Structure 1
Amino acid sequence: MSKGYVLVVDDEPDIRGLVREILEDEGYEVATAESGSEARALLHARQPDLVLLDIWMPGEDGISLLREWAGGGTPAFPVVMISGHGTVETAVEATRQGAVDFVEKPLSMGKLIATVGQALQQQMAATAEAGGSSTIIEPVGRSTAMRNLREQAERVAASDSWVLITGEPGSGRKCLARHIHQLSPRCNGPLVEVAAGTIAGQSAAEELFGQEEGGRVTPGRLESAAGGTLILDGAMDLDDEAQTRLASAIDAGAFQRVGGAQRIPLDVRMIAVTRHDPAAEAVTGRFRQDLAYALSVIPMSVPPLREHAEDIPELVAFYVDRLVDAEQLDYRRFTVAAQNRLRNHDWPGNVRELCNLVQRLLVLGDGLDIDVDEVESALSVVQADSAESDWPPALSLDLPLREAREHFERAYLQKQLQRADGSVAQLARLAGMERTHLYRKLRSLGIDPREGGETSGGRA
């Protein structure tokens, strides 16, 4: 599998040929362009993972192209400038426009290879961090259920088939999806995550497929994930248009950006993560049947924590070590009695709830040992917080009407979002609101539906 798709833009044929030969020997896929117009056409056809761009070219210089691709921000892909006439002013301008590095002519092939590799690694790290997956971990536990899950993940990862992962919220579904990517032949490619419940209407199609408007190209998540894996969280929340486009793309093996005519190859492995069975949703008419079948090539299920409670001591140890290291918290240890109490809890929020409890005890508690009474007290607080007794919310009559209304709306939508297990589509049905209006309301109230997402239950 290719290490990445590189576009080389240089007006000198010898340079283009030499760079192409060297990078292809290193395992990269390479396209070349001798001018800005040719580069623009190739870019419309397919987004590169990296561009090597000559500064001085007849007709249209590299800085102008870089400025166009950045569009006032930064390019959607790393750009490394090639220059035989570099000056401090040129370097500053290129960096200001979003270039990540320079290589000078005459080219040192060793430096070129190192620069390309480093730029791609930085891009992959940034993509993973934006998706919340900078640390990929495997599911924790020595129980039969978790051992079987890890063994199944190894077998599934070896193929390139699309995967459907179901399970209760908080059970570690996205952790498993990331683990599969890490084990797969696509592990050196990008890992891109998209929460379907956070996009709606036309924006869903643009988010997935990208957009072309006024000569400017905005790549979508499918294009950004080319050569790697796309984790689609909550596929049931996709609207009808996005479902139709995705089903057509799967059938054709290619897709078009919104507003564009160029067909782009569909080169991703998709892992759908959901709490629902797409086939069952298709029977009720809430989901396209052809898309349900396409996403469900290999079904996997993550068990709820109550079904492998024997793993709780190991999970607790993992979360303590991870939180102490990541957040510089004081180390504390759970007594055997405290661990046994945790094993007997029902854990409706699964490993996410367990992680949150461990964090609360590390932050708020004192002393080395966490005993059973402290655990009991923490569990009582959680149960009280989740009880219906906190509804309706207390409102101060001293508040202006506008602030009181916002306070109530925020509490109401947060409570309904809990009932909907974080699904914005289900929230819209419970609240009786059109989804586009609902998204605007959530944003105005500062409510992020993704905060109901998974906390990974895994091993570093």
Structure 2
Amino acid sequence: MLTPEDLLGARILIVDDEPDIVEVLRFKLAAEGYRHIRSTSTSSEALGLYRECKPDLVFCDLRMPGMDGFQVIEALSAEEATGYLPLLVMTAADDPDSRLRAFGLGAKDFISKPLNFPEVVVRMRNLLQVRLLYNRLTESNTDLGHVTRRLEAVLDATGDAIAMYDNGERLVFANQPYRDVFDIDEFLNEPRTAQEVRSYIRDRFQEAEMFATSDAAVFSDPTAALEDVVELRGPERRLLYRVKAPVREGDDVLGQLVVYRDASKDAEIEEAKAEVLRLRAVLEEEITFDSIIGQSRAMREMFVLMLQAQDSDITVLIQGESGTGKELVARAVHYQSQRSRGPFVAVNAAAIPDTLIESELFGHERGAFTGATDKRAGRFEQADGGTIFLDEIGEMDVQLQTKLLRVLQEREISRVGGTATIPVDVRVIVATNQDLDAAVRAGTFREDLFYRIAAFPIPVPPLRERREDIPLLVEYFLTKFREQTGKPAQTVSPGALQRLLDHDWPGNVRELENAIQRAVLLEQSETVQAGSLPAAMLSDRPRVTAESVGAPMSVGEIVPLEELERRAVLAALQATDNNVTQTAQALGINRATLYRKLKRYGLADDDEE
């Protein structure tokens, strides 16, 4: 509310070519308590004086020499084009056309000469109240605009996509992340309803129909709330945690608030935490070449190459089939090198979609692509001061190969969507299970990149080429999984070990690890029998080699098959302490067949059937 002091503090300008009227009006207004009064008898000075004192009310005569009152009114109204200026016209002429013209130019009221001062005071007070209230409203709107912009900035900074609808289901607010997530900026240039927004964004969800149904159901009940997780379409397949809740003021519901939070970020954080814990465990473990199990000649040759590679930053190419342990070799080289205190960052190029691999490796700036709400450092930046391991490099797109080559040459990267170059101090180790020579000839792998990464190749032998290491690996995995599971398995039967030695191991050490893990879980005794191994190993035909049959020197030294079978059955019985079930499993036959063989070779008790 306005106080009398507010009115008396108003600024008043008098424009009249009659000095007597000006003086009397000034005197009367001062007597009423008005303190800020300016006046001029020259219409040409009116505009300059207005600009100087910025009055809240102007008295203006119509009939003046030179610039008349109409021109003064028009000029002052133009100066106050965006506001409300009370122009109180004084005139001795009672001409309706003049009044209409003055009103049309911006006059707010008329008063006739000679002036009736009580009437002047009342009309002036009424106009001043409107002017001062208008000023207050303008200031409040300005302050509200500042608050609104600050609130919008806060809501934008949350990273959540937020929108609000009124009770008529009209969209009244959508923050920038909401507009970005749904690419909806242009669509919101016009007022929109919840139904229109729903129709526009529904196809962006993986389950479009389910989204539309649940969204409509919530809006049908103003008091209803909803919490669920929805999935966006597209290469990123982002998960959004959706919350809808009524906005209340006391008991009244003002509308609906809708919030979408990127649950993928939470998942990434959890994955990052898990990775930190995993890396911490790796760092706490003494990682040396001794951690890689193997005493075969092929492995000893590999260890020599690893020792030579550890003392420099030369790019290493680790070549080997899937499951041979290429990442373990890369980690050992890193942790035995001068970069061991730096990070080791592993990236599987085959596991990341082509649309994301560039930003994964080099990072991206905010807004680089749809969904890039924050800038993010790539794996090369994360590996600064340490080693980056690029597994399955043969799967990398040719276009990205070009960018990788530049990074290897220049030792600097540029984030997706950015222009600045960022230097990186990184040792690069790559691995592949492909024939890169053939890929170069086929045109699927850049020749210049191949020569850059193949500076120091380290081949990792497949398990079938180092079978003498299998007993060592079996012992290691047996101990590992026994301690993890609490199962009784302590050793492997000769029959089971022979099965393991005879298998071709297309999956290499990883396949062996899985086989022993399965056997430990299935085996109920302290000795792992062949029957606990995967079926693929039980169906393998034994490898016939000079070592396996003893390489007899003459025909007379050959042992008949029947005798070999009898010896195998007897050995299995002894190994299992005459446990028929385990003996049958170890031999890979059923119990009925075993009983028949026991009878044939005179190994069965009389009471056995």
TM-score by length of 2: 0.41
1:243 aligns with 2:398: no
The change in CA–CA distance for 1:229 and 1:381 in structure 2 (over 3 A counts) is farther
Deviates more, 1:333-342 or 1:181-190: 333-342
1:368 aligns with 2:526: yes
Displacement of 1:373 after TM fit?
Answer: 4.9
- Aligned-pair Cα RMSD in Å: 3.1
Partner of 1:179: 332
Aligned counterparts, 1:217-228, within 5 A:
217-228=375-386
Contact 1:131 1:192 in 2 (8 A): no
Tell me the alpha carbon deviations over residues 388-429 of structure 1, each in whole angstroms, 9 at most, x when there is no partner.
xxxxxxxxxxxxxxxxxxxxxxxxxxxxxxxxxxxxxxxxxx
Query: Using the alignment, how far apart are the partners of 1:127 and 1:241 within structure 2?
Result: 31
Query: Using the alignment, how far apart are the partners of 1:161 and 1:282 within structure 2?
Result: 21
Displacement of 1:377 after TM fit?
Answer: 5.2
Partner of 1:154: 307
Query: Using the alignment, how far apart are the partners of 1:230 and 1:332 within structure 2?
Result: 39
1:129 aligns with 2:278: yes
Partner SS, residue 211 of structure 1 = coil
Query: Using the alignment, how far apart are the partners of 1:131 and 1:261 within structure 2?
Result: 34
Q: Could you tell me which amino acid in structure 2 is paired with residue 183 of structure 1?
A: Q
Contact 2:530 2:538 in 1 (8 A): no
Q: Could you tell me which amino acid in structure 1 is paired with residue 278 of structure 2?
A: E
Partner SS, residue 312 of structure 1 = helix
Contact 1:226 1:268 in 2 (8 A): yes
Query: Using the alignment, how far apart are the partners of 2:431 and 2:513 within structure 1?
Result: 20
Partner of 2:457: 299
Query: Using the alignment, how far apart are the partners of 2:422 and 2:292 within structure 1?
Result: 35
Contact 1:255 1:263 in 2 (8 A): yes
Partner SS, residue 525 of structure 2 = coil
Contact 2:487 2:524 in 1 (8 A): no
Partner SS, residue 193 of structure 1 = strand
Query: Using the alignment, how far apart are the partners of 1:207 and 1:382 within structure 2?
Result: 43
The change in CA–CA distance for 1:272 and 1:127 in structure 2 (over 3 A counts) is farther
Q: Could you tell me which amino acid in structure 2 is paired with residue 209 of structure 1?
A: F
The change in CA–CA distance for 1:382 and 1:250 in structure 2 (over 3 A counts) is same
Q: Which runs of 5+ in 1 are unaligned?
A: 1-63, 73-122, 384-460
Query: Using the alignment, how far apart are the partners of 1:132 and 1:274 within structure 2?
Result: 26
Identity percentage over the alignment?
A: 36
1:231 aligns with 2:231: no
Residue among 348, 365, 377 paired with 1:195:
348
Query: Using the alignment, how far apart are the partners of 2:496 and 2:452 within structure 1?
Result: 45
The change in CA–CA distance for 1:345 and 1:130 in structure 2 (over 3 A counts) is same
Partner of 2:298: 145
1:204 aligns with 2:357: yes
The change in CA–CA distance for 1:335 and 1:239 in structure 2 (over 3 A counts) is same
Tell me the alpha carbon deviations over residues 33-63 of structure 1, each in whole angstroms, 9 at most, x when there is no partner.
xxxxxxxxxxxxxxxxxxxxxxxxxxxxxxx
Q: Could you tell me which amino acid in structure 2 is paired with residue 246 of structure 1?
A: L
Displacement of 1:338 after TM fit?
Answer: 2.5
Contact 2:318 2:431 in 1 (8 A): yes
Q: Which runs of 5+ in 2 are unaligned?
A: 1-152, 161-271, 368-372, 542-609
Partner SS, residue 272 of structure 1 = strand
Q: Which has the higher contact order (CA 8 A, sep 6+)?
A: 1
Tell me the alpha carbon deviations over residues 124-175 of structure 1, each in whole angstroms, 9 at most, x when there is no partner.
9844727996765732111111122223212211111110011111111111
Contact 1:139 1:150 in 2 (8 A): no
Partner of 2:428: 270
Partner SS, residue 323 of structure 2 = coil
Q: Could you tell me which amino acid in structure 2 is paired with residue 151 of structure 1?
A: V
The change in CA–CA distance for 1:153 and 1:188 in structure 2 (over 3 A counts) is same
Query: Using the alignment, how far apart are the partners of 1:337 and 1:141 within structure 2?
Result: 22
Contact 1:170 1:350 in 2 (8 A): yes
TM-score by length of 1: 0.53
Displacement of 1:254 after TM fit?
Answer: 0.9
The change in CA–CA distance for 1:241 and 1:376 in structure 2 (over 3 A counts) is closer
Tell me the alpha carbon deviations over residues 50-108 of structure 1, each in whole angstroms, 9 at most, x when there is no partner.
xxxxxxxxxxxxxx9xx97x967xxxxxxxxxxxxxxxxxxxxxxxxxxxxxxxxxxxx
Partner SS, residue 280 of structure 1 = helix
Q: How many residues align?
A: 268
Partner of 2:228: none
Contact 1:124 1:190 in 2 (8 A): no
The change in CA–CA distance for 1:291 and 1:338 in structure 2 (over 3 A counts) is same
Contact 1:171 1:303 in 2 (8 A): yes
Contact 1:357 1:378 in 2 (8 A): no
Query: Using the alignment, how far apart are the partners of 1:127 and 1:248 within structure 2?
Result: 30
The change in CA–CA distance for 1:192 and 1:169 in structure 2 (over 3 A counts) is same
Q: Could you tell me which amino acid in structure 2 is paired with residue 129 of structure 1?
A: R
Q: Which has the larger Rg?
A: 2
Deviates more, 1:143-152 or 1:182-191: 143-152
Partner of 2:538: 380
Query: Using the alignment, how far apart are the partners of 2:352 and 2:492 within structure 1?
Result: 41
Query: Using the alignment, how far apart are the partners of 1:229 and 1:208 within structure 2?
Result: 13
Tell me the alpha carbon deviations over residues 359-393 of structure 1, each in whole angstroms, 9 at most, x when there is no partner.
0100112101123454485723799xxxxxxxxxx
Q: Could you tell me which amino acid in structure 1 is paired with residue 406 of structure 2?
A: S
Query: Using the alignment, how far apart are the partners of 2:280 and 2:499 within structure 1?
Result: 35
